[in-house]
Structure 1
Amino acid sequence: MHFPDDRLYHSDHLWAQEQPDGSWLIGITDYAQDQLGSVIFVDLPQMAASFEQGQSCASIESVKVTSDAIMPIAGTIAETNADLADTPELLNSDPYGQGWLVRVTAGSHAAGSCLNSSAYTALIKL
């Protein structure tokens, strides 16, 4: 498992990566996709919905379990990953690339209590 250094992590196993335009991509970590198993469905939020850090923003259904996706940062949904409707398995095969969940706009202090990759790795004890 790997956890890229170019993003922040939430203890509920989602990541946030700031983009050049100031928006943030949100997705699940490699650890989360491994724990979920094969993802078969993703229920994404509506455009312009706002979430606080720690709120559920999506539901991820796998062959093992249905799990909430907990927002790693506070923000407003600017885009959802439409590719997940037809290929939810992107969460398993490319969690840090094509398997992102949502893009949000966020304030300057939205990242709050997020962790860097080293702290996240220590949290899950890998």
Structure 2
Amino acid sequence: MTETGKYHLPEGQLSLSGPVVRPAIGTLPIRGDLAHIALADKYFVANYVMPQLREIGPAGAALLCLPRDGADEVTRLDAGAMFEALDYSGDWCWGCLGPQGPSGYLRIAELAPRTGG
């Protein structure tokens, strides 16, 4: 991450050099349909996303493997921790702590309310 809080976009031509082992669920922020922009030079997916920095709310949050209650917990996120949101769907947000993970789902309600403009 740069000092301005934005990731550098990959430069030059991206190319595939052969099969890549898919990371385990809950590790790198990559799914079949999208991935963190910082992984664009390593993994091929349909869409790359620039993360939206969000704060975990006052109760903390469980980062889950799947977007459903009772799913396996990847890790517990402390209140005030910064979370990189990559996708929102229904009541759930998928994201990570950074391009090296961990990654998973949490309820949008567990994020601190947005402030400012």
TM-score of the alignment, normalized to the shorter chain, above 0.5: no
Larger radius of gyration: 2
- TM-score normalised according to structure 1 size: 0.27
- TM-score normalised according to structure 2 size: 0.29
**Structure of higher RCO (CA pairs closer than 8 Å, 6+ residues apart):** 1
